[in-house]
Amino acid sequence: MSFKTNLIRARSHIVFMLALSTAFGIVITMENIDFENRVAARANIKNEISIPLSASRSLSSEEMEWAKIAWKYFENNTIAETGMVNSVDQYNASTLWDTSSYMMGLISAHRLKIITEENFKHRMTNLLTSLEALPLFEGKLPNKSYNTISLKMVDYTNRETVQGIGWSAIDIGRVMVPINALVWHYPEFTPEVQKVLARWDLAAMVDKGNLYGALREGKKTQILQEGRLGYEEYAAKSMQLMGYDVAEAIDYQSWLKFTDIYGINIATDSRRPEEFTAHNYVVSEPYILDGIEYGFDQISQQFSNRVYSVQEARYKDTGILTAVSEDNIDVAPYFVYNTVFTGGKAWNTITEAGDDASDFKSLSTKAAFGWHALYETDYTRKLIDVASKLHDPEKGWYSGLYEKTGKPNKALTANTNGIILETLAYKQLGPLLKPKQTELASR
């Protein structure tokens, strides 16, 4: 039998072997690509920018006055009958995120001895009673917004809706921070906390290690993966403390991509809004909250160092004091994201819908206070020199300062004032969820 004949007879085996080899080669290549991406990500993470965290210290008399100004907001916006606090000054609605900011502000005011023990316990008990009574979206989890007087579910225009508009996994993750703080530092509230959580189906927002929100449109409810780099990990940490598997949501490297700005590798989220429905914002707030509430882990501190450093670099390049985050504003569209990076652009300012909002680019008051609490550098002193003037002593802290006009953004919110109280409590007492030995010994 000739070689040619044998070759013809063997062609099917040859084709099979070639196909197998090709497939095997593709698998190896794909594994190598994944491995190389992960190595590159880890190398970038470990390519450290070192900024020491400032040491805890007693607040100055001026800083204590700043804390009292922040507390004024909550005195002016607490609904006595329900214990709820308005998200925005004199606007009778609140999201769970803003309720969380009130809870953290209340705990911080107590830690700083701005309010009495009796006032603290009355306010917290009243609030927890209302949280237990909230009607839940589809009977599972808190709606995205509530009327602070009636406790009824409302949409974002404060119109009552019997069905609700959905739940936010990130907002719920945020409220788990003060919930954990209460159980750890104030165990007398544990029975009330248990009553609240007994009604909430937290498992409905966690699946295969990810966080999921709910969105009702018309008569249909969509369950959507929620959270992007920064906020996703921040919210997941509190859910992990509650015993839930959030392995994917808490993994900084799952969707990690680095973007060079001023020669600094900034961690961004690689998920595109066209495909994954949500925008990716690099802002100050989740990293500040991670530091002042949990105490940083290695990765969150490194990412925080970079987000802070690139804002200082912009100041050195342009002379514009920079401390960016998302904020309410005092004119339409009333809420914007001032970012380090979003939508493929550095220093981009957009609305939640993705529309350009560059006219409202601002210095964020809460971001200035947060960076100063964490680092206390020459640059943060410049930030605080400006930010410390952005207040009404009888109403609280304004949200920021517009770059274009140099005028204050006079929006007054629970989130800004709650976070400012948190940052000042952190400066004196350290991270809320990392108790000192002296605190442990006293219990």
Query: What's the confidence (pLDDT) of residue 45?
Result: 62
Query: What's the confidence (pLDDT) of residue 40?
Result: 52
Whether the pLDDT of residue 22 is over 70: the answer is no
CA–CA separation, 79 and 420 (whole Å): 21
Place of tokens 């939640």: 352
Nearest to 285 by CA among 364, 379, 186: 364
Query: What's the confidence (pLDDT) of residue 419?
Result: 98
Question: Higher model confidence: residue 312 or residue 44?
Answer: 312
Token pair, residue 121, equals: 């316990």
Token pair, residue 268, equals: 């961004």
Q: What is the mean pLDDT of the chain?
A: 89
Question: Higher model confidence: residue 94 or residue 6?
Answer: 94
The backbone torsions φ and ψ at residue 349, rounded to the nearest 5 degrees and listed phi first, read -120, 120
pLDDT tens track for 180-223: 999 999 999 999 999 999 999 999 999 999 999 999 988 899 99
CA–CA separation, 443 and 257 (whole Å): 44
The backbone torsions φ and ψ at residue 340, rounded to the nearest 5 degrees and listed phi first, read -70, -40
239, 206 Cβ separation under 8 angstroms: yes
Token pair, residue 431, equals: 């991270």
CA–CA separation, 229 and 251 (whole Å): 9
CA–CA separation, 141 and 195 (whole Å): 14
A 10 A CB-CB count for 2 gives 7
Query: What's the confidence (pLDDT) of residue 34?
Result: 38
Helix (H) / strand (E) containing 77: helix 61-77
Q: Which of the four pLDDT bands, split at 50, 70 and 90, describes residue 35?
A: very low
Query: What's the confidence (pLDDT) of residue 273?
Result: 75
Nearest to 2 by CA among 154, 341, 303, 10: 10
Whether the pLDDT of residue 88 is over 80: the answer is yes
| pTM (two decimals) | 0.89
Whether the pLDDT of residue 287 is over 80: the answer is yes
Angle at 238 between CA 236 and CA 242, to 5 degrees: 110
Token pair, residue 53, equals: 């965290």
Place of tokens 């909550």: 74
Q: Which of the four pLDDT bands, split at 50, 70 and 90, describes residue 31?
A: very low
Nearest to 349 by CA among 363, 366, 330: 363
CA–CA separation, 16 and 8 (whole Å): 14
Query: What's the confidence (pLDDT) of residue 244?
Result: 96
Measured CA distances, 94 to 97, 99, 171, 415 (Å): 8, 7, 11, 10
Q: Which amino acid is at 215?
A: L
